[in-house]
Amino acid sequence: MKVSYFHVAGDVPDTIKGPDGPDAAVVIDVLRATTTIAWALHNGAEAVQTFADLDELRAEANAWPEAKRLLVGERGGSKLDGFDLGNSPVSVVPETVQGKRLFMSTTNGTRSLHRVREVACVLTVALPNREAVAQRLIRDQPEQVWMVGSGWEGTYSLEDSLAAGALADSLLAAGATVANDEMQAAIALWSQWKDNPEACLRIASHGQRLIGLGNHDADFQRCSGLDQLSVVPTQAEPGVLRAVSG
């Protein structure tokens, strides 16, 4: 298994659809989309359907039974007007999400999911389900794994690289090899911060942005909690993620 990391969707090579493309893609948005997705599915959501375009989201959601849907939307770290929930793993509690489909659009993470949606195997990872995703990949042994960060509006983010390094750390222990320099740098970052990942999330520019918006202590704790979940969000059809145990 060869593992590569790309900081943002725009860095993903056009060869993604060709014979040199990945056998599996793993999307990362630690603050906060892939953390929210993991917790929502863990807490009983029927599925999370992701959208880069808000008009498309509303059209798809309107075709779904109102009692069985929730609109999850965020831009700039804040909940979108008219949506049921913002992008917070703390808000997707069982009594809110159980049995419902979440129609989700965020500033960054859903763009990366859209970029890789045609790959045969698409998973999402965050720190809470790092080991579950690692064990899935170790079991299935895809030849080429591309991890794709979400960044912030097309630019690098520290926390996504941290999670990429965390996942790679588990994969390398099982015999995987590193395929690009971005992955090597992410592994070094994880080595530096693995004993206190929450501190890394807080000093990251997006962490600082969230702090500036108000008290997000519960989000930081939830997003930095390592290996707490066994759920592996897996694309069942383009843009639709469902829970599969690792």
pLDDT at 246 over 80: no
Please give the Cα distance from 223 to 173 (Å, whole number): 24
Q: CB-based contacts of 216: which residues, under 8 Å, 6+ apart?
A: 210
Please give the Cα distance from 83 to 200 (Å, whole number): 30
The 8-class DSSP code of residue 1 comes to -
Q: What is the pLDDT of residues 82-94, one digit of tens each?
A: 999 999 999 999 9
Q: What is the pLDDT of residues 148-163, one digit of tens each?
A: 999 988 899 999 999 9
The H-assigned helical ranges of 87-149 are 94-97, 109-115, 130-140
Please give the Cα distance from 65 to 79 (Å, whole number): 22
Categorize the per-residue pLDDT at 103 as very low, low, confident or very high, splitting at 50, 70 and 90: very high
- Predicted TM-score (pTM) of the model is 0.96
The strand pairing partners of 75, in sequence order, are 78
174, amino acid identity: A
Q: What is the pLDDT of residues 25-84, one digit of tens each?
A: 999 999 999 999 999 999 999 999 999 899 999 999 999 999 999 999 999 888 999 999
CATH assignment of 2-238, given 3.30.70.20, 3.90.1560.10, 3.40.50.1100, 3.30.830.10? 3.90.1560.10
Phi, psi of 240 (to 5 degrees): -110, 120
Nearest to 103 by CA among 42, 153, 36: 36
Share above pLDDT 90 across residues of the chain, in percent, rounded to a whole number:
92
pLDDT at 245 over 70: no
Categorize the per-residue pLDDT at 143 as very low, low, confident or very high, splitting at 50, 70 and 90: very high
Q: What pLDDT score does 108 carry?
A: 86
Q: Are strands 231-237 and 24-28 parallel, antiparallel or unpaired?
A: unpaired
Question: Strand, helix or coil at 57?
Answer: helix
pLDDT at 244 over 80: yes
Categorize the per-residue pLDDT at 109 as very low, low, confident or very high, splitting at 50, 70 and 90: confident
End-to-end CA distance of the chain: 18
Nearest to 70 by CA among 88, 52, 96: 96
The CA distances from residue 140 to 24, 134, 145, in Å, are 10, 10, 11
Question: Strand, helix or coil at 27?
Answer: strand
The strand pairing partners of 109, in sequence order, are none
The H-assigned helical ranges of 141-214 are 158-173, 181-193, 197-203, 205-213
Question: What are the tokens at 182?
Answer: 């971005």
